[in-house]
Each structure stands twice: as structure tokens, then as C-alpha cells.
Homo-oligomer: A and B are copies of this chain.
């Protein structure tokens, strides 16, 4: 696999689709400016590894010794990898996976003691929230590939992805109550993915649910045996990478935009999007190819 040369050399810039978007990440008033700096500087070791081929970017949480904790440094690595060349036509889909038996254990509790202080705590949660919203605001679909335990903010990360494929040995929990820190930010993503009673039992008891239960309740999209996990995730990613990037980007943005609206506004927005989609070069190419019974050639 071709490693993306210099993937970390660019630091973080907000691309135009994020700046214009009313669903953009939290503004400066909420997000401390310092947190948006380059994550690849020498003072902060990279905690993720990334490769990209044929339009599919793999971002791997690579700190298994620390159970892939979402420390501030890890969150910044992740943000940088997600934002990197987000507008490039060469990027069609992102897969987030992890090394080791734990997908992610959530925040690093050592960063949340009194010693760090309130401002540091705020930066951790704001950066985390930003990463989660970035997944939704990103122009390409973002998949989680889960093989193991995902807890607290790790569970939140899975819930926040557009699609999640998990091995049957995976499990999911929000156990913050056990250490006196209720999983309130993970609950934002969890409460929008599963029925209310499922979310509250997980939050109040801290007990894990199995991959099958997570599937049944909508937290994940698919469960497969461990040995098929990579193949199935790649199958979905390859399918998405074969589609028109501009059409998928318009569809993804419209989906999240209309979902919280009342029905009438939702249909107004979505109808507009359909007309705009047809005006895209790829919109007409797809329909012509279909009528002519040939494969479409996308210009993205």
C-alpha cells in the first residue's frame, strides 16, 4: 500500500466546506485556538498511522499499550488525519480502525485530574466534540471498523461514524459512572443512535452490550466474524469509492441537514438538493449511462 507522503506535513486548515457550513465545528469562542495547531509537531508524538490507496484512507488508532485512549494528543492526531486534504478528489472514503484488542477506551483519565485544571478539561472535551462533528461534516463517508472493546468516548467515536462494521467479539459500553464521570458527551452520539431506554441502561449501569445487541439497536451497521471484518469493511469502502464523490458529498450533507428539520422544511431542502444533484455533471452522466446501458464515467 502506498503511504501518503507528507500526510502530516500540512497541519490543520479549515477547508471551505467547513467554514461555510452552518453545521461547522464549534467556533473560536468554544474551541480554544491553540487546539487547532498542527498535531504533527515534534512535541506531540503521532498516535495514529495513516495510509491511503485507491481513494480509501485508513486511519488506525495506534497506541494499543494505552488501550488507544482518546488523549488530547490522540484526538489531535485523529482530527489532523481526518481533515488532511479533505477536499481532494483522490479521497473517497475514510476507515477508522485500531491496533490491539481494544478499539478505544475513551478519554485518558490521567488528563482529567484536578492537577490539569478546568481549562485543560474543557479543551479535551471541546476537541473531542469537534472530532465527532467533523465526521458528520466531512464530505466523504467515514466508516468505523471495530474489532474489540469500545468504551466511553471510544463508543462515541463508533456511534459518530456514518457506518460501523464490527467483529462478533466486539462490545460497547459507557462505563463512566463507575469512576464518577457520567458519559455525558458519549451520550450525545449514543442517544442519537439507539433507542432511549437502551442508551439509559448503558449509561446508568455502565454494563457492556454485545456486537449483536449493538446491531439490533442501531449502534453499528453490521456484525461479521473476526476473520471477515477487513474484507467486509473493504467491500463497502470499495463500493463507495466507485461512486461519484460529488454526488456522495451532496447526499451526505443533505442527509444531516434535513434530518433535524420538520417534514416540510426537510422536503424543501431535499427537493432542492435533488435538482442541484441533477445539475451536477455526474448527475447527468449517471442517468445517461443508465439509459444507454453502459457504465458511468464520473468526473467527481
Contact = CB atoms under 8 A, between A and B. Distances in A.
A9 interface: no
Interface in A126-143: 126, 128-129, 132-133, 136, 141
Looking at chain A's contact residues, the main secondary structure is helix
Contacts of A184: 250-251, 254-255, 258, 270, 273-274, 277
B290 A203 contact: no
Interface string A69-107: 000000000000000000000000000000000000000
A254 B112 CA distance: 19
A183 B187 CA distance: 29
A296 B180 contact: yes
Contact of A121 (B199, B267, B274): B274
A231 interface: no
Nearest to A283: B180
Nearest to A191: B259
Interface in A256-276: 258-260, 262-264, 266-268, 270-271, 273-275
Interface residues of A, number: 99
A170 to B, nearest CB: 14
Nearest to A124: B274
A118 interface: yes
A14 interface: no
Interface stretch (A42-50, A53-61, A215-223): A215-223
A18 interface: no
A249 to B, nearest CB: 9
A258 B187 contact: yes
Interface string A278-292: 111011111111110
A197 B181 contact: no
Contact of A200 (B109, B163, B200, B262): B163
A192 B217 CA distance: 15
B279 A118 contact: yes
Most buried by B among A129, A133, A179, A285: A179
27 contacts: A109-B290, A113-B287, A129-B268, A133-B263, A163-B197, A177-B243, A179-B286, A179-B287, A180-B277, A180-B282, A181-B274, A182-B250, A182-B254, A182-B277, A184-B250, A184-B270, A187-B254, A187-B255, A188-B258, A191-B258, A193-B197, A196-B218, A200-B221, A201-B222, A201-B236, A204-B248, A205-B239
